[in-house]
Amino acid sequence: MNKLILLLLFSVGLSHAVELRNVRPVTSQSTFFMAPQWSPDGRLYCSTPKYAEILEINQENGFIKSIASGVGVGFKFAFTPDGSIYYKKVINRGRELHRVDPEGNDTLLVFAENIGLPVWYGDAIRVLVNDGIHSWTVGGDTVEDSAVGWVYQDGAGIFRVQSGALPQRISPQIAECCLPVQSPDGKRVIYENQTGGLVYVNLETGSSTPIGPGNNVCWAADGSFFLFERTEDDGHLITKGDVYLIMRDAATAVNLTESLNMITSQPVISADRKQIAFEANGRIWIAELVME
């Protein structure tokens, strides 16, 4: 299981050899771990069932360090370039937004009835708080700079901030959509349509392309490709799951983990594009990714 070679054929007509080496678990079987995330400075994090924790994983010895705990804290938290973590916490009276700096200091930034997921976009963390967009710098200071071009979820719709105009809805009016993931250059976004699977939008041309079933999209830091999971279930339990890769603007999704005898999900790519991490059988696994 330490080596996997696939031939990827993309719509641009080029062949790319992709090799996954040293596929190995980095967490033990004593606790169920899920939802890995890689920070820009190379640290690997994960969560526990119901996204109840943020945990830092020592990739060499599997040692686990607790960063934060509470309802929902491990769901789609965001990083700034210096490795600070922004996370949302659900409490009885509403929502809290927190920042943990690289030294581990936790600061409550805002409390509100409704807080969206934090996202790094345009040199600031962006968050939809109630009906307005709030922004924070790398150092955790509030900032009033423009979030023009940012794509976010509001209710069951996906919107893009416009210059001097109301936000533009980019998802269908009648569809329930969620979890947009914008490319690093801000020119593309992929969101989840609850009935139609993943949708890929070129924000420059306005064109939309259905990708098919999938969840948990993660862009490479240079925007050259993205990963996502595709799972199957029997109505109660997940029976199959694989990690897929698509090159930017390509049409073919390629199964990276097809030969692994595991249900794999929740893929992420390291900032240097050299490793991927995913969850399988309640453990976090990593693999070296070689693209030629």
Query: DSSP characters for the chain?
Result: --EEEEEEE-TTS-EEEEEEEEEEE-S-SSS--EEEEE-TTS-EEEE-GGG-EEEEE-TTT--EEEEEESBTTTSS-EE-TT--EEEEEEETTEEEEEEE-TT--EEEEEEES-B---EEETTEEEEEETTEEEEE-TTS-B-----TT-EEEETTEEEE--TTSPPEE-S-TTS-EEEEEE-TTSSEEEEEETTTEEEEEETTT--EEEEES-EEEEE-TTSSEEEEEEEEESSSSEEEEEEEEEETT----EESSTTSSS-EEEEEE-TTSSEEEEEETTEEEEEEEEE-
Q: Which residues, in sequence order, are CB contacts of 163 under 8 Å at separation 6+? A: 146, 148
Average pLDDT over all residues of the chain: 91
pLDDT, tens digit, 9 for 90 and up, residues 177-223: 999 999 999 999 999 999 889 999 999 999 999 999 999 999 999 99
Percentage of residues in the chain having pLDDT higher than 70:
94
Per-residue pLDDT tens digits for 81-129: 999 999 999 999 899 999 999 999 999 999 999 999 999 999 999 999 9
| Ranges of H-type helices in the chain | none
Percent pLDDT > 90 in the chain is 83
Q: Max Cα separation, the chain? A: 54
Predicted confidence band of residue 249 (pLDDT cuts 50, 70, 90): confident
Whether 2 shows a pLDDT value over 50: the answer reads no
pTM: 0.92
Mean pLDDT of 224-253: 90
Inter-residue contact 57 to 35 (CB < 8 Å): no
- Residue 5 confidence (pLDDT) above 80: no
pLDDT digits (tens, 9 = 90+) for 50-73: 999 999 999 999 999 999 999 999
pLDDT single digits (tens) 31-44: 999 999 999 999 99
Closest by CA to 119, choosing from 170, 181, 167, is 181
Q: Is the pLDDT of residue 10 over 60?
A: no
Residues in Cβ contact with 188 at an 8 Å cutoff, skipping those fewer than 6 apart: 182, 200, 201, 202, 203, 223, 248
According to DSSP, residue 71 is labeled B
Query: What is residue 167's DSSP assignment?
Result: P
pLDDT, tens digit (0-9, with 9 covering 90-100), for 134-190:
999 999 999 987 899 999 999 999 999 999 889 999 999 999 999 999 999 999 999
